[in-house]
Structure 1
Amino acid sequence: MSDGMDAAVVVVGDEILSGHVRDANTHFIASRLAALGHRLRRATVVPDQPEDIGGAIARELADGRGIVFVCGGLGPTHDDRTMEAAASALGRELVSNKDLADRIATIADHVRRQNFAGDPLGVATLQKMALAPEGAEAL
């Protein structure tokens, strides 16, 4: 197992910290990492505050984590600021990511076809959700 990488999970969300929503991501990621021979060294839950999100990401990178998974805070609402915080922590620009934009457009088309609550995903929402730190890879 010494060949594997050390990893961390940063879970973002006031709803997790308040107990309104359960974190299912950490268990899933930990089991997949173990199956691949990597080690989850730390899991942290932070509020929807850019300084907390960015601080947690920077701390994991400073501690030598080769992989940092960040879950949450990626939606269309004003408090979803994970991408902005990640870009700042990495010293990167926040840019439109074509892969994300294409994936989000596919989901939006599905939502529109199913007529879920009318058409809740406007152009500005889609553009916001397609922003990512320059060079980032969405999983």
Structure 2
Amino acid sequence: MRLHTYLLTVGREILVGRTLDTNAHWLAGEITRLGGTILKISCVDDHPQAIGAEVRSARRHGSDVLVTTGGLGPTPDDVTLEGIASAAGRRLRLSRAARTLIEERYRVLHAQGRISDPALNPARLKMARLPTGTTPLPNPIGTAPGAYLTWGRLHIFALPGVPAEMKALFAHEVNPRIEALSCAAGSGTWVEMRVPTGMNDESTLAPVLAALRRAFPDVYAKSHPSGFGVAVDLIVTVAVRGSGGRAARERASAARAYLLNRLSVCARSGGPRRPRRSSAS
């Protein structure tokens, strides 16, 4: 069984091209390594209705985990939790635990001389209003806490949009929870290997990849073009998810050996040069 995961980025700055969404890219890699399978990556505007629709979609399509980024701050356009609450049929209420986290962060910032007043004004208190049944997650860098709640089988993690804050909060609070969920689901281990092919044309490589997929239907194989020319050496990613790390590595290694053998046959038959040794990650 796989831990199906849905990633949702919230923010108009992404949609209009002002900001590059590096959060989704980073999260996809981290969650895949933890055993999750990314079903979909979406981005919506700062509207509760749009956010709620994506939350409902994640649940309707059988996701186990939903991770949102952005929209947790003190300004009026920060409405991610409002959208989540609406979708899950919850009310937004002032969380004492969240308020305590926010008070402590502003106290520290004031002591460091980074803000002039640590008092919680209405905008700051807004960040402590969470859907009922939500656990606030400490933000070690910023002021807005993250949030964790369950809606049926769906585990929802709401994280800040600032990349440094998102990564720190993920490492401390989300990573161990997703790892535990992945183990409980028996998601297995993801092993990925990169194989230089010695080829510079995907159309020439395509029959070799087709043979690999027929021989190893459970293995993901994808070439990564970088242009044309005699200096180009196409790289193929060979990846597999197994019930255990050793089994996955053995299966990926077998697929890599098969690919290298087919490439060597092509080279001996007058095809491109013999590939160099591959690497694993």
Q: TM-score, normalised by structure 1?
A: 0.88
Mapped to 1, the partners of 2:42 and 2:98 lie a distance apart of: 25
Aligned partners of 2:107 and 2:118 also within 8 Å: no
Cα shift at 1:96: 2.1
- Name the residue aligned to 1:130: 128
Matched to 1:17, the amino acid is L
Mapped to 1, the partners of 2:89 and 2:8 lie a distance apart of: 18
Aligned to 2:91, which of 90, 93, 117? 93
Q: Secondary structure at the match of 2:66?
A: strand
Identity %: 32
Matched to 2:15, the amino acid is L
Once the two structures are superposed, residues 23-76 of structure 1 have per-residue CA deviations (whole angstroms, 9 ceiling, x without a partner) of 222122212211111111111010001111111111111111111111111100
Cα shift at 1:120: 7.5
Aligned partners of 2:4 and 2:38 also within 8 Å: yes
Residue 58 (str. 1) matches residue 51 (str. 2)? no
Which deviates more from structure 2 when the two are superposed, residues 17-26 or residues 69-78?
17-26
Give the aligned CA root-mean-square deviation in angstroms.
1.8
Cα shift at 1:117: 4.7
Cα distance, 1:69–1:20 mapped onto 2, change above 3 Å: same
Mapped to 1, the partners of 2:30 and 2:101 lie a distance apart of: 23
Structure number with higher relative contact order (C-alpha < 8 Å, ≥ 6 residues apart): 1
Aligned to 1:31, which of 29, 32, 35? 29
Runs of 5+ consecutive residues of structure 1 not aligned to the other structure: none
- Off by >6 Å, runs of 4+ in structure 1: none
Between Structure 1 and Structure 2, which shows a larger proportion of strand residues?
Answer: 2
Cα shift at 1:22: 2.1
